[in-house]
Structure 1
Amino acid sequence: MSTTTVPPSDPLTWKQADTDVHVATRGGEFAGFVEFDGAAHLVRDNRGTELGAFDSLDDAFRALEEVHEPARRESVFTPILPRAWRRRPRRARA
């Protein structure tokens, strides 16, 4: 089994598959879909996990796009200070 990695910076491409189904792809790979059930737009990701129900189609599209955005991680490294700032303060000699 092989997996394809698509850069998260590629935008989602939407196509209407049926009157009540819109399918999203990214780089040619399936990314998820939105289905209208008569009352709300149901969003599912590429694994079929339900992401929620939305009143408008635009809100449903946005929800799937937000799931596919890369998560921002905080830096685990401490910033390196310039050498002059790393020195201990000197005591005055008498």
Structure 2
Amino acid sequence: MYTVDLLAVGRGREVVEAALRYVGGLGYRVLGSTTDEEALSILGRERVRLLVIGGGVETESRRLLTSATQEHGATVIRAERAGRGIEQYLAEEVVPALGE
């Protein structure tokens, strides 16, 4: 069983917190991070089901986080909000992936 359903990684604290409030409010277990180090620490100590990497995360960080996440057997989603608000994006892209 997973200890964390969603790990949200982004560079803006307010966006990460909004994602955690929304997805956590639906009853999922969530954690968030604004740094690679913190995200890697979470991946090392928790069983993460799904990692969402925000659009503002740098290319090298995306590679590092994707590799580490796949090593731990979790799924990676690279956020592409395409002008949508955070809640709309989560409802349309992330929550359905959690329901699988």
Whether TM-score is above 0.5 comes out as no
Give the structure with the larger strand fraction.
Answer: 1
Q: TM-score, normalised by structure 1?
A: 0.33
Compare relative contact order (CA 8 Å, sep 6+) and give the higher one, 1 or 2: 2
Q: TM-score, normalised by structure 2?
A: 0.32
